[in-house]
Amino acid sequence: MAYLLLFGAGGWTQRWQIPTDEDETIRGAILQAGQDGTGQLSVIDSQTGSPVTLVIAWRHVAAAVVVDVHDSTIAEGATGQYA
């Protein structure tokens, strides 16, 4: 399992779960961060667990990263926004 983390130029943040078969597509797409243009990515909505299409205006994305999660358990004492 992996997550897409987006950090906006205006200070916003978003986290989206990446479907297994979309991992490489999203890794390639985030290279557009900060550039003109838009993109569409298949991600999973955390509230419903359903696949959705995320439309991104890349110019407003200051940074983007894919974080791999190899173990779905959270270590005891883990802290931080994504723990």
- Which of the 8 DSSP states describes residue 50? -
Which residues make Cβ contacts (< 8 Å) with residue 59, sequence separation at least 6? 9, 34, 35, 36, 37
Which tokens hold the place of 32?
């557009």
Which tokens hold the place of 72?
């779905």
pLDDT tens-digit map of 24-66: 999 999 999 999 999 999 999 989 999 999 999 999 999 999 9
Element (H, E) at 23: helix 23-29
Nearest to 8 by CA among 42, 38, 40, 33: 33
pTM: 0.80
**Domain parsing of the chain, residue ranges:** 2-68
